[in-house]
Homo-oligomer: A and B are copies of this chain.
Amino acid sequence: MGTYNDEINIKTNGEVDIIDITSQIQEIIKKSKIKNGIACIFVPGSTGSITTIEYEPGLKKDFPRALQKIAPKGEHYDHHETWHDNNGHSHVRASLMGPSLAIPLIDGKLIHGTWQQVVFVELDTSPRNRNLIVQIVGD
């Protein structure tokens, strides 16, 4: 029984970039030598999110379009008055989606469906360097 920690470093293209990190998580699981347990993927930062999606070009357009309806860019946000910036919608979307994903590993393999990939969703307006935390607990 033990824990293993690593980071995934990615460069995003800003709003709304969806990046497949499935194989990078699998690599970290392999290095960890932990066979069975739970992996927690976490973004330190309040304008990004981790979820799963079928990673294909259509949904990469559909999902941002849905977010634009839920928390529209271009509207007034009180957040803008605090910092004189323009990413209030990014924060609202991130808090709604959540910053982390808990996902099982079994026999050394990350569990996911064939048409299901783990993704980081960049919700901030500008390109960012992101260091995602992967924390594994198991044996």
Q: Which residues of A contact B (CB under 8 A)?
A: 1-3, 5, 36-38, 40, 42-46, 51-54, 56-59, 61-63, 66, 69-71, 77-83, 88, 91-92, 94-106, 111-113, 115-116, 133, 135, 137-139
- By the criterion CB–CB under 8 Å, are A79 and B59 in contact? yes
- By the criterion CB–CB under 8 Å, are B2 and A46 in contact? no
Q: A99 — nearest CB in chain B belongs to which residue?
A: B52
- By the criterion CB–CB under 8 Å, are B95 and A52 in contact? yes
- By the criterion CB–CB under 8 Å, are B99 and A100 in contact? no
- By the criterion CB–CB under 8 Å, are B139 and A44 in contact? no
Name the one of B37, B42, B79, B111 contacting A56, with C-beta atoms under 8 angstroms.
B79
The CA-CA distance from A51 to B43 in the complex, in Å, is: 12
The CA-CA distance from A53 to B82 in the complex, in Å, is: 14
- By the criterion CB–CB under 8 Å, are A82 and B104 in contact? no
- By the criterion CB–CB under 8 Å, are B137 and A44 in contact? no
Which B residues lie within 8 Å of A88 (CB)?
58-59, 62
Which B residues lie within 8 Å of A111 (CB)?
42, 44, 133, 135
